[in-house]
Each structure stands twice: as C-alpha cells, then as structure tokens.
Amino acid sequence: MAWHIKKTSLLGSTAVGTVYFKGGNSWTENYDNRKTYTSQAKAKEEDFIWKKKTNNGWDVVAVNESA
C-alpha cells in the first residue's frame, strides 16, 4: 500500500489548492510527481515537514492511497 504527503498550498504561492510533497524541499500540484512511501511511518520520517506542521501550523497529512 502506498502513502504520500499532501497539504493546502500557502497564500502567496503560485499553486492553489492541494499540493503534494515531491521530495527534498519541493512541492508539486501534479499528483503524478508526488513522492510515495511504503508506510505511514516512512512518510513521517520527513522531519522537515512534520516540524513545519508543528511549528508553523501547516495542514500536512500522510495519506494512504489504498483507503
């Protein structure tokens, strides 16, 4: 089962709506370009993202694509 990380784009961004984590420090509007993980635990290993969720209030979620 595959997982990915998504969030609502920030105001002022060129992207509107949902964006998907692409890897590194990049996000994409293109669902096909998202980074996938084999488990929720692997997705949650992206420390940078989860720290931003806690410290900056990002609405980041790890999504199970099979659910």
Whole-structure pTM over 0.75, yes or no?
yes
Sheet holding 18-23, edge to edge: 26-28, 18-23, 3-8, 61-64
Q: Is the pLDDT of residue 17 over 80?
A: yes
* Percent of the chain clearing pLDDT 90 (strictly above): 48
Torsion over CA: 49, 54, 58, 64 (sign): positive
Structure tokens at 31: 């669902």
Give the containing element (helix H, strand E) for 43.
Answer: helix 40-43
Cα–Cα dist 2/43, whole Å:
10
